[in-house]
A and B are shown apart, each in its own frame.
Chain A
Amino acid sequence: MQIYLPIAETSVNAFTLLGVGGGVGVLSGMFGVGGGFLITPLLFFIGVPPAVAVATGVNQVVASSISGVLAHLKRKTVDLPMGWVLLAGGMVGSVIGIWFFNLMSRLGQIDLIVQLSYVIFLGIIGAMMFNESLRALLRTRSGTAPKRKRHTHTWVHNLPLKMKFRTSGLYISVFPPLLVGVGVGILAAIMGVGGGFILVPAMIYLLGMPTKVVIGTSLFQVTFVAAFTTFMHALTNQTVDVMLAAFLIIGGVIGAQIGTRVGLKLGAEQLRILLALMVLAVCGKIAFDLLWPPAELYSISVAGGA
């Protein structure tokens, strides 16, 4: 069954869309990630224009993370002041990202920028995750758990304008979380992702937040930055396709429920290695496309988007 997408102005198979949404939903349920980093490139592969894929991908992030953030708010595992600081930074980043996105679209280089960002970030994150989970797997085999220092004092703690974050038990400058927020906002606007994959490690290793509030607080920031970015893309580029989003969301919600159950049956470390391999595979495919001589050297961009 084909469905016509009014903004992308093409039709795609409804079951393909439900499959993409569902497949990524299964993964996000299994691994607890938003899955935006997989949805957007998959949409490229099935022929959705990159600008529409990015803006609609970020819209689907809102849907996939909203119920999570509500659950965490109820359980009080969200550091709200930290969340607001990250969110303020995220909105600034989103505006910068959208501006850059539009500039690059005009110069005809947006596809390249999006692909390069994916190669770089997926490459780094995939390699780090693979390395970390492989070591963790070896550790559990040998049975020795390494000690981690609770409070490491780094340059991050010597910056001005300190603020108390009670829930996290931190007293640090607002600049590091603000900058982390900006970075994630830029990625959301350019790559159509929530940015949880970069936010979570940054919160743990850079800001030193306790793990029990990391997921809730990152979901809080990701949901609102994704919402803000969706709105900005709709406002400046008219590239959010609600028909496309609806199918991805329906598929995603069902997939996530299946994924959560599958995830409970598999070991955490095996899961992380699997996810790392998948991230590296997507990265490799996009890198290959950039490096291999293309079958068609020419491409057309039509003025005015539609």
Chain B
Amino acid sequence: MGRLWAFLVLLLCAAPAQAQEEVVAGLSQNSVALTVNFVGSDILIFGAVRRDGAIPDGPLDVIVTVEGPPQEATIWRKARRAGIWVNAESHEVRAAPSFYAVASTAPLTDILSPEADLDYRISTRLAIFEARASGDVADPAAFSEALIRIRKAEGLYQEGQTPVALERDTLFTTRITLPKNIVEGSYAARIFLMRDGAVVDEFETFIEVRKAVLERWLYSLAYDQPALYGLLALVLAAVFGWGASAVFRFMRS
């Protein structure tokens, strides 16, 4: 009994020294439906820092990342061959997120140490896993950078475009825009509390992006029952093509 008391007292003394700060967060929506008129979607990510005791000294920062399902990808580089521009060299990427957004209270380089970045893979560059085996090109880094550049232009990769608003070191909000060309799947939203370049606490939640009923049905039919889908495409074409001209003939007579 005495030993247990001693242990509890020790625990109580140790706790404040750990400067316990926890992050809790929520999303404006946990699911996105890719309906026929889908033009993109804004997700509001908000949350609070929970702590026992006073706010520790030093600046507190928040980083929010949203990551789409990873894909294997091949990046091609064109070169002039016999006067025309053709895909000449390629480089494989083992896994690149189909969507990646990073929002933060301050520029990443100021609040994220390289070590923490390596551990948690927060910056866009580290979210892409290059294949180690394919070493046919002299400058694989140029290919990964091109991947980021192209996807940034398409709105699929966003870094430092949206700020995270942090109030009184406790409440934070940010807004991530999912563009119209996102793919289906589970999107991981991660929230990091940062102090001195290190991650103090991490919170993860998911956004499910799904095609709406009709789109879902067409898509799974195309992949699961391709023969049936092919026939459906033909019947639609035949009915539309023949039916419309029949209607016009009827209207003229």
Q: Are B150 and A296 in contact (CB under 8 A)?
A: yes
Q: Are A243 and B218 in contact (CB under 8 A)?
A: yes
Contact partners of B240 in chain A: CB under 8 A: 63, 246, 249-250, 253
Contact partners of B229 in chain A: CB under 8 A: 234, 238, 240, 242
**Among residues 252 to 306 in chain A, which have CB atoms less than 8 Å away from a CB atom of chain B?**
253-254, 256-257, 290-294, 296-304, 306
Given A4-B34, A4-B35, A300-B74: A108 touches B150 (CB 8 Å cut-off): no
Q: Are A291 and B84 in contact (CB under 8 A)?
A: yes
Least CB distance from B222 to A in Å reads: 5
Contact partners of A84 in chain B: CB under 8 A: none
Given A6-B211, A11-B181, A62-B241: A299 touches B236 (CB 8 Å cut-off): no
Q: What residue in chain A is nearest B249 (Cβ atoms)?
A: A67
Contact partners of B218 in chain A: CB under 8 A: 6-7, 242-243
Does A168 count as interface, using CB distance less than 8 angstroms?
no
**Among residues 223 to 253 in chain B, which have CB atoms less than 8 Å away from a CB atom of chain A?**
223, 226-227, 229-234, 236-238, 240-242, 244-246, 248
Q: What residue in chain B is nearest A299 (Cβ atoms)?
A: B76
Does A40 count as interface, using CB distance less than 8 angstroms?
no
Q: Are A242 and B236 in contact (CB under 8 A)?
A: yes
- Please report the C-alpha to C-alpha distance between residue A232 and residue B149 in the assembled complex, in whole angstroms: 35
A231's partner among B76, B85, B222, B231 (CB-CB below 8 A) is B231
Contact partners of A299 in chain B: CB under 8 A: 75-76, 78, 87, 150
Chain B proximity mask over A27-58: 1 for CB below 8 Å, otherwise 0 = 00000000000000000000000000000000
Q: Report whether over half of chain A's contact residues are helix, strand or loop; otherwise say mixed.
A: helix
Q: What residue in chain A is nearest B215 (Cβ atoms)?
A: A6
Q: Are A11 and B71 in contact (CB under 8 A)?
A: no
- Please report the C-alpha to C-alpha distance between residue A4 and residue B76 in the assembled complex, in whole angstroms: 27
Does A59 count as interface, using CB distance less than 8 angstroms?
yes
- Please report the C-alpha to C-alpha distance between residue A11 and residue B183 in the assembled complex, in whole angstroms: 11
Chain A proximity mask over B70-102: 1 for CB below 8 Å, otherwise 0 = 011111111110011111001000000010000
- Please report the C-alpha to C-alpha distance between residue A303 and residue B73 in the assembled complex, in whole angstroms: 5
Contact partners of B76 in chain A: CB under 8 A: 108, 298-301
Q: Are B248 and A109 in contact (CB under 8 A)?
A: no
A238's partner among B34, B71, B222, B234 (CB-CB below 8 A) is B222
Does A70 count as interface, using CB distance less than 8 angstroms?
yes
Q: Are B72 and A109 in contact (CB under 8 A)?
A: no
Contact partners of A254 in chain B: CB under 8 A: 244
Does B109 count as interface, using CB distance less than 8 angstroms?
no
Does A60 count as interface, using CB distance less than 8 angstroms?
yes
Does B39 count as interface, using CB distance less than 8 angstroms?
yes
Contact partners of A292 in chain B: CB under 8 A: 85
Q: Are B37 and A4 in contact (CB under 8 A)?
A: yes
Does B203 count as interface, using CB distance less than 8 angstroms?
no
Contact partners of A128 in chain B: CB under 8 A: none
Does B120 count as interface, using CB distance less than 8 angstroms?
no
| Chain A to chain B: the 4 pairs with minimum beta-carbon distance, closest first | A63-B241, A234-B230, A298-B146, A253-B244
- A-to-B contact residues, CB < 8 Å: 1-4, 6-7, 9-11, 59-60, 62-67, 70, 108-109, 111-112, 116, 227, 230-236, 238, 240, 242-243, 245-246, 249-250, 253-254, 256-257, 290-294, 296-304, 306
What are 6 inter-chain pairs, A to B, with CB distance below 8 A? A3-B37, A4-B36, A109-B87, A240-B229, A292-B85, A300-B75
